[in-house]
A and B are shown apart, each in its own frame.
Chain A
Amino acid sequence: MVCMLAAGTPVTYLHHAEPVAYVTVAADAPDTLDVAIVASARNGAVSSSAPVRSMSASGIARSGARNLDEVIRTFAGISVKDYGGIGGLKTVSIRSLGAQHTAICYDGITISDAQNGQVDIGRFNLDNIANVSVSVAGTDDIFRSARHLTSSGILEIMSVKPDFSQGPVQAMARMDFASFGTYSPYLLYSQRLANGWSLGASANCLFSKGDYPFVLRNGTVVTDEKRLNSDVASINSEINLHGDMGRGGELSLKAMYTGSERGLPGTVILYTQNPTERLWDRSLMSSVSYGNTIADAWKIRASVGYCMAYNRYLNIDPAYQVPEDDRYTQQEYTVSAILQFRPAERLRIVLAEDFFVNSLDSSIPECPFPVRYSTMTALSARYSSERFTAVAGMVWTYSHETVRAFTPAPDRKRLSPFASLSYRLMKEEDLRIRLSFKDGFRVPTFNDLYYARVGNVSLMPEKALQANLGLAWQHDFRGGSLSLTADTYYNNVKDKIIAVPTMFIWKMRNAGKVQMAGADITASLHYVLAEWLSIDTSAGYSFQYAVDVTDPGAKNYMHQIPYTPRHSGNLTAAIGTPWLTLSYIMTAAGERFSLAQNIPANRIAPYADHGLSAGRAFVLGPRHRYEINIAAQALNLGNINYEIIKYYPMPGRHFRLTFKLSY
């Protein structure tokens, strides 16, 4: 959006200024001292010592994606678990490690869920996103919260910083209309204040009936059905106050509120459809952060935050004597500080400390009202020269829990090291080899530990060891650039936290071991054929061999773990002209299995999802201050109700229309 407001330039040309938008990311963009290095390796995805997938605002705009999951699905090695439908839960898993191993970070704020460890990415609105990236098995950006460094991967979402170069006000209004009774208005307003301060506010609403048709195949019996109880109404809003005090540093205040009510359509059950569940969410996230660079050698960022998440679950199944009506409230208080010291031009040393307190209150019987105190301390260093980058560090985690009833989980202590290297093999070509290693883990969630009957306080953290070896190449040529990456990896997951049945009840236990080996290959090409014609295309392929090695005597020993395709891939292509931007997105996955055994009964059919998008921008008004964007998309062109989760059919062919007015 920032670029779109640049005056006097036809909008559709703008992405020319930004080569290879699908992979462009500066690993350390805000750091001005990095300019020399960034300039020599301006494609962060190539220079990074660990794989990074990313898409910038212009790439998002060009792709026609309107939801974050549509962007992430085009990232090689990253999958979105999607229960289908507009309001369906969508979580991000990196190389099949599971959503609980993915740290989610929005403008530096960690969005977490201590209760079940899964964050629904459906809440993020793409209209005000500058960049989306996923770092896998390490990161070059060590100037970050210690919490991120213990995760196996980081999904980072950066919002657009308001640009007041054309005036003191920036505003946007957008309306989406889509199939199945879906509409979504969005408003954004930013105002420059005095003395380097600015204020911004935005709100995105979504209303959908979500009652999409699907074809149900029960053997030879094929019926036309409609998804029931799939409605959603939600609001996501935020307020930002930002002050740039020059040498005095930068101060940011951010508050986000989300609220939603939705039906839970549940699994499609043969011979009956009677969903009885509803969910209400309310959450507030707020933070104040301060950052400054002192005498070039020192950089500091400190923040305090408070998050609250409330949800209510209602089930009116007549088998309940009184409807099940549960309420859960989570709270989180955080204090975080990051200090960077740069003793030499090429060396930086970072000390990061996070202290946070999580609590859970719930109305379910026997809730012990757990409170967890965690501290994470990260010490890391990065050396980077034109040809060589080395990162190493470790995070010390300590947590202590208290409960009002029953036994708390024992204290946890864990040291998690990580290291990565990148080396430019040739002076004349930007071809790099990279190697990274990370010992990540996830702590058991409050549900894992304390959920009535099922929870088990003696759980240990689930460990995920990751190793990555890859090659990355970027080649610039007249009128364009080409980049290729190929990574192979090995992951070892131990003490996997799973629900295990006992004779009478299910119990959470550390009872799984998974070994994974795989490869991710990406290619992207940006090519300007003429003043009026450009092409951006990218392709990704992932191979995943992820097998259960828990018990050599088990029937699923060495079987591919559930919901993990051996082969998956994506293809995107966009053609930019001054009149129209046309784009195509395809994501595909091979055969998967819904349960532990790789037998025909558990097989889920391969799919390919094709989408087409067309958009145009008009610049109007005095000094080209107004811009209108109109875009239309046709999604899942094949009109097949494929399943990502078995018996959660995805919507068939559907359409979307977007009107956007920016000032």
Chain B
Amino acid sequence: MKTLRSLFSAALSAFLLFTACEKVPSTPGPQGLSGLVVLNEGSWGGNNSSVLAYDQESGTMVDRFYDANGKNLGDTGQDMIVLGDDIYIAVNVSKIIFVTGRDFRIKKEIIAEKDGQALSPRYFATDGKKVYVTYYEGYLGEIDPAGGYSVRTTPVGPNPEGVAYAGGRLYVANSGGYNYPDYNNTLSVVDAESFNEVSTIEVNVNPCLVFANAAGTTLYVSSLGNYADVGPKLQGISAADGSVTDIDCDGVSAIAYGKGDNLYVLCAGYDQYWNPLPGTVYTYNAATGVKEGTFADGIENAYKVSADPDAGYVFVTASDYNTTGDMYVYSSAGEKIAGFDTQGMNPSKGLVIR
């Protein structure tokens, strides 16, 4: 076999018209950022979602979830949230929510069903006591940690994405994403106490993410439009009267809420040849809805933005969907702290777990 191989390499070097090139070295992990974990969505159908963290000893990223449980997270880890000592991870295509301790050991596996079919969790919100989760089949779920993580559900609009809690109400973005070309354009307003939809608010086509400001007076919604004549939009909604205001913002693709009552807005687009243009993150004052300035720019293959309000970090990720993605970590002041290859596909969210 060895002689065969050397024979081939000889033949190859004679035959190849191109020269071998050094592989691009992966940038080192986020040294010094203790407790940082990265949720990687993985590739669709690849069952390669993961929660990765930098391991000082080995100098590489390790899968905290796998190491704690001896099994994989599953397909499309969509969202991750902390409440008390629990970490909730929604794994969308695998139709499961893992509740773990801060060591990522599984405490509870939640599979919600309707008509005998498991529901697909998307995004979380919390009021500090309970965790709310959207289910893509058209439901909002409420998980009660005090009640053994029991789940109750209520119907909302089609294909809900983001959800936010403000003033005893939950605001759910109904994307209707599976109903192309007739996307939905509403938010469902659900009373947290009765857990029933009380009203809907009309917004731009294909709403995606929702966050509330600190006072709970304004909700911010990003919508993706219909990918044709209706473009993406950032809108503010008054919690008091449900009135909707368009916010000046070009090409919004993702938003995050962070420390100091700031809203981070990732904007990007593509040129006429469908080449993705570098992404820019802008800071908005969530109390007033006013753009404060550019937070970060020139991010190639910008993918998602997330923030850890307690630790004060802002995370911007990059993905070409083809290779493992990158994460850039900023302080809430906009200082770039780290940039590294997450070693996972499609990194979507960062959190500091201590």
Which A residues contact B (CB, under 8 angstroms)? 218-221, 266-272, 274, 317-322, 324, 365-366, 452-453, 456, 458, 488, 490, 492, 500-505, 507, 509, 515, 517, 519, 543, 545, 549, 552-559, 594-597, 599, 601-602, 646-647
Contacts and interface: CB of A to CB of B under 8 A. Distances in A.
A159 to B, nearest CB: 37
Contacts of A365: 180-181
Given A458-B273, A517-B16, 5 more contacts: A319-B137, A319-B178, A492-B17, A503-B276, A599-B343
Contact of A270 (B24, B94, B224, B276): B94
Contacts of B228: 453
B24 A555 contact: yes
B117 A274 contact: yes
Interface in B4-25: 8, 11-12, 15-18, 20-21, 23-24
B96 A271 contact: yes
B345 A503 contact: no
B94 A319 contact: no
B48 A500 contact: no
Contacts of A318: 114-115, 117, 137
Nearest to A559: B23
B125 interface: no
The 8 closest A-B pairs by CB, nearest first: A555-B323, A220-B70, A267-B45, A219-B71, A503-B268, A270-B74, A271-B94, A272-B95
8 contacts: A219-B69, A366-B181, A500-B321, A501-B276, A503-B302, A555-B24, A557-B21, A557-B24
Contacts of A220: 70-71
A502 B11 contact: no
Contacts, number: 162
Interface string B313-348: 000000111111000000000000000010111000
A490 B178 contact: no
B274 A502 contact: yes
A404 B176 CA distance: 28
Contacts of A554: 24, 320, 322-323
Nearest to B73: A270
Nearest to A543: B8
Interface string B78-117: 0000000000000101111000000000000101001101
Given A320-B179, A557-B24, A503 B118 contact: no
Contact of B94 (A272, A501, A595, A601): A272
B120 interface: yes
Contact of A503 (B75, B91, B138, B279): B279
Given A219-B66, A269-B47, A274-B118, A504 B18 contact: no
- The majority secondary structure among interface residues of chain A is loop
A272 B71 contact: no
Nearest to B74: A270
A271 B74 contact: yes
A3 to B, nearest CB: 38
Interface of B: 8, 11-12, 15-18, 20-21, 23-24, 26, 43, 45-48, 66, 69-72, 74-75, 91, 93-96, 109, 111, 114-115, 117-118, 120, 136-138, 158-159, 176, 178-181, 224-225, 227-228, 232, 251, 253, 268-270, 273-274, 276-277, 279, 302, 319-324, 341, 343-345
A271 B91 contact: yes
B322 A507 contact: no
Given A504-B253, A554-B320, A272 B96 contact: yes
A81 to B, nearest CB: 15
A270 B268 CA distance: 33
Contacts of B69: 219
Contacts of A509: 273-274
A320 B179 CA distance: 7
A595 B11 contact: no
Contacts of A519: 8, 11
B119 to A, nearest CB: 8
A598 to B, nearest CB: 9
A492 to B, nearest CB: 8
B70 A647 contact: no
B180 A595 contact: no
B227 A553 contact: no
Nearest to A365: B181
Contacts of B17: 490, 492, 515
Contacts of B111: 271-272
Contacts of A646: 46
B39 to A, nearest CB: 15
A558 B22 CA distance: 9
A215 to B, nearest CB: 15
Contacts of B274: 456, 500, 502, 507, 509
A554 B325 CA distance: 11
Contacts of B320: 501, 554
Contact of A504 (B114, B115, B232): B232
A366 B181 CA distance: 9
Given A272-B95, A320-B178, A504-B224, A596 B322 contact: yes
A218 B71 contact: yes
Given A490-B16, A505-B227, A556 B8 contact: no
B332 to A, nearest CB: 24
Nearest to B254: A503
A492 B178 CA distance: 39
B51 to A, nearest CB: 14
B227 A453 contact: yes
Contact of B180 (A319, A453, A543): A453
Nearest to A552: B21
Contacts of A267: 45, 47, 75
A552 B345 CA distance: 20
Contacts of B21: 552, 557-558
A319 B159 contact: yes
Contacts of A317: 178
Q: Which of A219, A271, A458 has the most CB of B within 10 A?
A: A271
A557 B23 contact: yes
A503 B251 contact: yes
B42 to A, nearest CB: 9
Nearest to A216: B47
Given A272-B118, A502-B270, A595-B345, A647 B47 contact: yes
A269 B45 contact: yes
Contacts of A218: 47, 71-72
B253 A503 contact: yes
A622 B279 CA distance: 83
Contacts of A274: 95, 117-118
A490 B15 contact: yes
B224 A595 contact: no
A218 B158 CA distance: 32
A320 B137 CA distance: 7
A509 B321 CA distance: 14
Q: Which of A515, A556, A595 has the most CB of B within 10 A?
A: A595
A365 B66 CA distance: 42
A503 B18 contact: no
A268 B46 CA distance: 9
A14 B169 CA distance: 82
Contacts of B70: 219-221
Nearest to A646: B46
B20 A596 contact: no
A646 B344 CA distance: 17
B48 A601 contact: yes
Contact of B136 (A268, A319, A453, A456): A319
B115 A555 contact: no
A113 to B, nearest CB: 23
A317 B15 CA distance: 51
A458 B272 CA distance: 11
A65 B300 CA distance: 51
Q: Which of B46, B115, B232 has the most CB of A within 10 A?
A: B46
Contacts of A505: 227
A545 B319 CA distance: 26
A208 B59 CA distance: 51
Contact of A558 (B20, B115, B159, B180): B20
A350 B66 CA distance: 63
